[in-house]
Amino acid sequence: MTITASSLRGNIYRLLDQVLETGQPIEIVRKGKLLKIISMEKRNKLDNLVKHSCLNGDLESIVHLDWTEEWHSDLP
């Protein structure tokens, strides 16, 4: 994320918290130069994963699905 120094001044605490939570650096443009705020602590990349609910319904019914009609083997 790249922001201006004015935007940093108006939102500094929120932006610092964002860097701490996500581990993503923030780039600031000031007088045509680029500055960067980064966290010195390494975060585990798995901490950024979002939990998703992918399967809905009865899981037992999925185990017993019959795919024989949909399966087309192209192997010789």
Query: What's the pLDDT at 59?
Result: 75
Range of the domain at 40: 2-63
Measure the CA angle with vertex 51, ends 48 and 57; round to 5°. Answer: 165
Question: How far is residue 61 from each of residues 35, 66, 67, measured CA to CA in Å?
Answer: 55, 10, 13
Q: Does residue 12 fall inside a structural domain?
A: yes
pLDDT in tens, the chain (76 residues): 899 999 999 999 999 999 998 889 999 999 999 999 999 988 787 877 888 777 777 777 777 778 777 777 776 6
Q: What is the pLDDT of residue 35?
A: 97
pLDDT for 70 equals 76
Find the CATH number of the domain harbouring 54. Answer: 3.40.1620.10
Question: How many domains are contained in the chain?
Answer: 1
Dihedral of alpha carbons 57, 62, 63, 65, sign: positive
**Residue 73 belongs to a domain:** no
